[in-house]
Structure 1
């Protein structure tokens, strides 16, 4: 299977392109690719273009399209709003897996029980790019800056709105039972201490549906992956 290289600013009208420095280094030094070798180019916005290395000049790698660019359609759109975990490595892991499975937008949210109050977006973006390439995706998830819970809930969100939590004092429906195939959806996942009762009620008042992800009590990162996987499976 051909390796994927990320060019965020591909000029689709131009067949010839120079790989960014890091991508060129990976192609030449790590993969030891040569002139004539085939590869795939993506801008993370729906294009996955069969291409070929035209020439290698020192550290410069020039590639050429082998086919006309054609945008791929997303089967569904999923926005995940997830409270960062105290252990940032767990959050990095869930972002990687969510990207591999399929997610359109990711927003870190700050809640009343959050134990981590900031994230390095640049580092997280690199994880998303690597996961997109590894899983042969044509779309790179949009990573939004950290947003306060109330601000996120108050903003106008598109499609089906879900708040996943463990508080049995509230009526909850299964995500699998309530989701409609092909529909755009937003799913909120809380921190290790879950959402507060006040947050749950506030979200419900703003139109979010109270849901559960099964009988097990899941870690934040596990819940996020289960939610992504459920939407993925329901669309295929």
Structure 2
């Protein structure tokens, strides 16, 4: 199955912009009457038919709407962006495929970057949703100071973790997760968190956790954390 994305699907028919129309009609050579599948990124899958294969403004008719229920858990990853933007693009792509619900880029003491091209990252996320047949687009937040995240009361009901490298921090995230919860996990830069930042997190009831014995790159740690939480919550289905 091929999955296409259109953000605002409200009526029984809708039109694609020039870029999407050209891709669908000229590149993929779709014709009038062909069946295509769309998502709005909000949990809906639309089974559709092309009614006008105009390469500048293709018209699509909705035949059936299907809804994907929310997960019983919610993964929010907060991570310090790396200096290399391509590594961040790779990360958001893989996180989307694995199944993250929200990503916040976090400014910490040793952060390597404070500005990101969020529009480019959004495109990577949407492309990953289409490739992995996901009908929900993860929420992407701009760079936020760590202190604001740690002190935000909206996370009081979340199970909160901070992952860092220390020989005394040897309990793996896998062992600490409670199923069917909302989670917030903090991943620092490759210089890791400062002692002051760790203490701030502990003071606000964040649980220390390890992601294994290896020292991971930040983006690898983010992927490992999300995969671990997904694994624990889906063990009964394996």
Maintained 8 Å contact 1:83/1:110? yes
Report what 2:117 is aligned to: 120
3-state SS, counterpart of residue 32 of structure 1: coil
Equivalent position of 1:28 in the other structure: 25
Does the CA-based 8 Å contact 2:97-2:128 persist in structure 1?
yes
**2:160 aligned with 1:181, yes or no?**
no
- Report SS of the residue matched to 1:45: coil
For the Cα contact (< 8 Å) 1:5–1:23, is it kept in 2? no
2:81 is the counterpart of 1:81: no
Instruction: Compute the displacement of 1:214 (Å).
Output: 1.1
Return the offset for 1:207.
1.5
TM-score by length of 2: 0.92
What is the Cα-based RMSD across aligned positions, in Å? 1.5
Task: Return the match for 1:64 from 61, 65, 78.
Answer: 61
The match for 1:149 is: 146
CA deviation after TM superposition for structure 1 residue 71, in Å: 4.1
Q: Does 1:10 align with 2:12?
A: no
Q: Find the counterpart in structure 1 of residue 213 from structure 2.
A: 215
* Distance in 1 (alpha carbons) for counterparts of 2:17 and 2:106: 32
Paired position in structure 1 for 2:159 = 160
Aligned counterparts, 1:27-46, within 5 A: 27-46=24-43
**Separation (CA, whole Å) in 2 of partners of 1:88 and 1:40:** 31
> Within 2, Cα distance between the matches of 1:21 and 1:143?
26
Distance between the aligned counterparts of 1:189 and 1:61, measured in 2? 43
3-state DSSP of counterpart to 2:58:
strand
- State TM-score, norm by structure 1: 0.93
Q: Secondary structure at the match of 1:57?
A: coil
Distance in 2 of aligned mates of 1:72 and 1:35: 31
Shift in Å, 1:161:
0.6
Q: Tell me, yes or no, if the aligned pair for 1:7 and 1:20 is still in contact at 8 Å.
A: no
Q: Give aligned pairs, total.
A: 232
Q: In structure 2, what is the equivalent of residue 200 of structure 1? A: 198
